[in-house]
Amino acid sequence: MAPRFIARQLSHPSGYIGVAIRHLMNRHNARMNAFAIRQLHLEPSDRVLEIGFGGGVILPALLNAAAFVAGVDRSSDVIEWAQRHFAKAIKAGRAEFRQGNVESLPFEKAAFDKVCTVNTVYFWTSLDAGFAEIHRVLKPGGRVVVGFLPKERMERMGMPADIFTTRAPRDIIEALTKAGFCDARVERPEPKTPWNVIVAAR
């Protein structure tokens, strides 16, 4: 399959191919997502939001560790799948999934204690608008975790630049700081780990 077709599916999974892409993402991104979730330092009373959850690889762990889990994704297929798959948790009032964009989050201000987003910043139109929205929906003292692959790795993958915008840790830290977050820093399980997981406080 052409990189352009794959890139489109990664940025917005849809249809039968989207189902396969979501399985692949879950497999390939599992370790990075598992590390990101640890950086959230979840408490049993937390309300947590995941933005761009795709195949939903960490949703079960979020549901195990937190009081309430919301997921937002711009793909309607992804939302429909989550609404079916987590119907019990939704019925119990412990989960909610809404279609939406990071730049205009469909939630009230100060609705969450923690926000997590992994492998989505390449697709945001504006880091400033996205982080301003995350700042709005987080409670004061809340925490945001942002995971993504480094520029060099993305460039080697040859993803089309009009679909994937590569990001450097500095870009994310600057945008977080501009939005009002503090203590933004990169966390890695080991110094050589290739991913960037950035943690900041509201």
Ligand X SMILES: C[S@@+](CC[C@H](N)C(=O)[O-])C[C@H]1O[C@@H](n2cnc3c(N)ncnc32)[C@H](O)[C@@H]1O
Residues of this chain that interact with ligand X (CB under 6 A) are 10-13, 25, 29, 33, 51-55, 57, 72-75, 78, 101-102, 118-120, 123-124
Query: Which residue's CB is nearer to ligand X, number 26 or number 177?
Result: 26
> Residues, the chain, total?
202
Q: Least distance in Å: CB of 87 to ligand X?
A: 20
C-alpha closest to that of 40 among 65, 12, 60: 65
Query: Which residue's CB is nearer to ligand X, number 93 or number 162?
Result: 162
Q: Least distance in Å: CB of 189 to ligand X?
A: 16
Task: Please state whether beta strands 196-201 and 138-148 pair in parallel, antiparallel, or not at all (unpaired).
Answer: antiparallel
Query: Which residue's CB is nearer to ligand X, number 27 or number 185?
Result: 27
For 7-70, the three-class secondary structure string (H helix, E strand, C coil) is HHHHHCCCHHHHHHHHHHHHHHCHHHHHHHHHHCCCCCCCEEEEECCCCCCCHHHHHHHCCEEE
Q: Least distance in Å: CB of 125 to ligand X?
A: 7
Q: Least distance in Å: CB of 134 to ligand X?
A: 11
Query: Which residue's CB is nearer to ligand X, number 16 or number 182?
Result: 16
Evaluate whether 112 touches 141 at the Cβ level (below 8 Å). no
